[in-house]
Amino acid sequence: MKRLLKLFVASLLASFFLMSCVTVRQGNVGVKRTIGKIQEPSLPAGPRWYNPFVSKVIIVPVNTQNLEVSLPLPSKEGLNVEAQISILYHVQAEKATDVIGTIGEDYLGTIILPVFRAAAADVTAKFMAKDMHTGNRLDIERAIRDKMMDLLGDRGFVIEAVLLKSVTLPQGLYRAIEEKLQAEQDAQRMEFVLQKERQEAERKTIEAAGVRDANKIISEGLTPAIIQYKSLEVYRELSKSPNAKVIIGGATQPVLLEP
């Protein structure tokens, strides 16, 4: 009987020992609540002891967390744009006790999500729907992140980034954007063709001006003496041809007869 009692006591002590120990893993801190009161400071990583009958250790992650949210975002023109968004955030380790003490364990649903929805709606309402699908997406992400930090930075949270993972525009808007892009491409292609034609026209103008100037120079340099000299050179070359028989020139030019 005594042996059974000893075994029972030993089991009870072992259970109490196990219940009185909690391991705070790397990337987390422990917040100890004793009889409803938060104890300072927070507990760093490692094994921690507490009285399970009057105390509770709440594990709070302080490394980067990824919160994914799907919601419609309002646009400047009054459209609702379906979006999937990732919020990268973490709790400041030195303020973990304040977070649990003032907000509670469900700080995601209590403060982070409501602040995000309000900040996202306020920011996207200033942009056109197409801006969420173009290069302005980065500006929208930064604006939402900055607005969330203005509201949450002093409450013990760091919003690292807000990422628009996917955006689904209304079908009609998709077609309008595609048609606009096609029109812009056509305009760019036509501008290229016109530029090429202008360059070709300039080339021909320069070429014609060169020919004109060359002819002008030649005509100005053709005196009667030069013309007569060139004529004699032509007759001399013709006289050397075996097919030449009789060449009769003008009155001022020599007459070459067949030998």
For 26-63, the pLDDT digits (tens) are: 899 988 888 878 888 888 887 776 777 777 888 899 99
pTM for this model (two decimals): 0.59
Tokens of 80: 């609702």
13: pLDDT confidence band, cut at 50, 70 and 90? very low
Residue 187 pLDDT greater than 90, yes or no: no
Tokens of 30: 């422990």
* Non-local CB neighbours of 62 within 8 Å, separated by 6+ positions: 27, 28, 29, 90, 91, 92, 93, 96
Which candidate, 164, 151, 155, places its Cα nearest to that of 88?
A: 164
Residue 177 pLDDT greater than 60, yes or no: no
Please indicate whether residue 235 or residue 8 has the higher confidence score (pLDDT). 235
Residue 191 pLDDT greater than 60, yes or no: yes
Across the chain, mean pLDDT equals 78
Task: Please tell me the distance from the alpha carbon of residue 65 to that of residue 213, in angstroms, as a whole number.
Answer: 78
H or E element that contains 206? helix 171-221
Neighbours of 157 (CB within 10 A): 22
Please indicate whether residue 82 or residue 51 has the higher confidence score (pLDDT). 82
Task: Please tell me the distance from the alpha carbon of residue 69 to that of residue 147, in angstroms, as a whole number.
Answer: 17
Task: Please tell me the distance from the alpha carbon of residue 98 to that of residue 109, in angstroms, as a whole number.
Answer: 17
**For 65-169, which CATH superfamily applies?**
Band 7 domain (3.30.479.30)
Place of tokens 């005509």: 219
Lowest mean pLDDT among 79-88, 132-141, 242-251: 242-251
Tokens of 183: 């029109």
Residue 14: what pLDDT?
47
Please indicate whether residue 246 or residue 240 has the higher confidence score (pLDDT). 240
Mean pLDDT, rounded, for 134-141 = 85
Quick check: bond before 41 cis, omega within 30? yes
Residue 12: what pLDDT?
46
Please indicate whether residue 131 or residue 68 has the higher confidence score (pLDDT). 68
Which candidate, 114, 127, 115, places its Cα nearest to that of 74?
A: 127
Residue 180 pLDDT greater than 60, yes or no: yes
